Amino acid sequence: MAARWRVAAVGLAAVGAVAIVTVLPAWLLAVDVGAAKMAAMTPVDRASSVNAIRGQILQALGAIAVLSGAVLAWRQLQHSAAATREQLMVQREGQLTDRYTKAVEQLAHTDTTVRIGGIYALDRIARESADDRPNIVNVLAAYLRFTSPWPPSDGQTAAVDLPLRVRRPDAQTALTVLCRWNSADLHPTEWLTADLTGTDLRHGNLEGGVLWHIRFAAANLTGANLRNTDLRGTDFTEAVLDGADLRGATADETTWWPDGSPLSHS
């Protein structure tokens, strides 16, 4: 339908141009010199004057045609650029989806090294796509809750003195990535929330982390390194903090400690 309208518009413009070139010169000459003087002109002079006016009109129409063509070409270029951008965006979204799917699949691998690679792949995606960050936080938090529950699902509490990075290097990596993105100045604020309720993080290293709004309720943080952490908004309700190093940590009235009261450790 649009193509038919364009063809009709071009046809009407052509007819109008022919009418202008044919009729308008003689009328303009009559207006310019007057009917009496025009009648007194010889046929040759009249034809010469009309042709001169016709030439000027043709030049004007040519300039309009060139300008119109330039405008149409610019609009076509804009449409092509927009279509290209949209296509690139679709391709990028597809690539991100594929990378995200593969990274999540790696989390279920039996090889610890492959799982760590999946965690870092999710970290890379989070750097590139702010829209995917909340989902990645939820995935990594769920990964820690599922693979590092407290108390342990197998009932074993051995190796309690080993650092988390030795006992469960993948869990330490996920914890590091979760804390890396937390920042009071980071938007959207949904990225500042991670639910690590009931996780086994004994002797984990969170030094210098920004733990805004992370929930450690009922988690075991025995011997954890919490030096110089920002604990504003952090939930430690019913958490185990025996031997945790809190030197230099920042807390306020929004920090909830194991007895459920804010600032109980202040």
Residue, of 245 and 87, whose pLDDT is higher: 245
Give domain status of residue 126, yes or no. Answer: no
Predicted confidence at residue 191, as pLDDT, reads 44
Q: Does residue 148 sit in the same domain as residue 44?
A: no
Listed residues 97, 116, 141: the one ending a domain: 97
Q: Does residue 77 sit in the same domain as residue 137?
A: no
Listed residues 46, 79, 97: the one ending a domain: 97
Domain that holds residue 26: 11-97
Residue, of 190 and 250, whose pLDDT is higher: 250
pLDDT digits (tens, 9 = 90+) for 124-168: 998 888 888 888 999 999 999 999 999 987 655 555 679 999 999
Predicted confidence at residue 75, as pLDDT, reads 82
Listed residues 97, 117, 141: the one ending a domain: 97
* Mean pLDDT along residues 60-86: 78
One DSSP character per residue, 17-77 reads HHHHHHHHHHHHHHHHH-HHHHHHS-HHHHHHHHHHHHHHHHHHHHHHHHHHHHHHHHHHH
Q: Per mean pLDDT, which range of 12-21, 91-100, 119-128, 249-258 is the poorest?
A: 12-21
Q: Does residue 148 sit in the same domain as residue 79?
A: no
Give domain status of residue 252, yes or no. Answer: yes
Residue, of 257 and 158, whose pLDDT is higher: 257
**Dihedral class, residue 252 (left if φ above 0, else alpha if ψ from -120 to 50, else beta):** beta
Predicted confidence at residue 45, as pLDDT, reads 63
Give domain status of residue 215, yes or no. Answer: yes
Predicted confidence at residue 127, as pLDDT, reads 87
**Which of 34-48, 49-63, 221-235 is modeled with the greatest confidence?**
221-235
Give domain status of residue 140, yes or no. Answer: yes
Give yes or no for residue 39 having a pLDDT over 60.
yes
Give domain status of residue 1, yes or no. Answer: no
Q: Does residue 142 sit in the same domain as residue 197?
A: yes
Give domain status of residue 233, yes or no. Answer: yes
- What is the total count of domains within the chain? 2
Q: Does residue 243 sit in the same domain as residue 146?
A: yes
Q: Does residue 92 sit in the same domain as residue 138?
A: no
Q: Does residue 148 sit in the same domain as residue 83?
A: no
* Three-state DSSP class for residue 200: strand
Q: Does residue 141 sit in the same domain as residue 232?
A: yes
Give domain status of residue 191, yes or no. Answer: yes
Q: Does residue 57 sit in the same domain as residue 181?
A: no
Radius of gyration of the chain (CA): 38
Give domain status of residue 263, yes or no. Answer: yes
Place of tokens 């639910």: 195
**Which of 71-75, 111-115, 134-138 is modeled with the greatest confidence?**
111-115
Q: Does residue 92 sit in the same domain as residue 137?
A: no
CA-to-CA distance for 67 and 223, rounded, in angstroms?
A: 76
Dihedral (Cα; 156, 160, 165, 171), 10-degree rounding: 40
Q: Does residue 195 sit in the same domain as residue 84?
A: no
Q: Are 230 and 213 in contact (CB under 8 A)?
A: no
Q: Does residue 262 sit in the same domain as residue 147?
A: yes
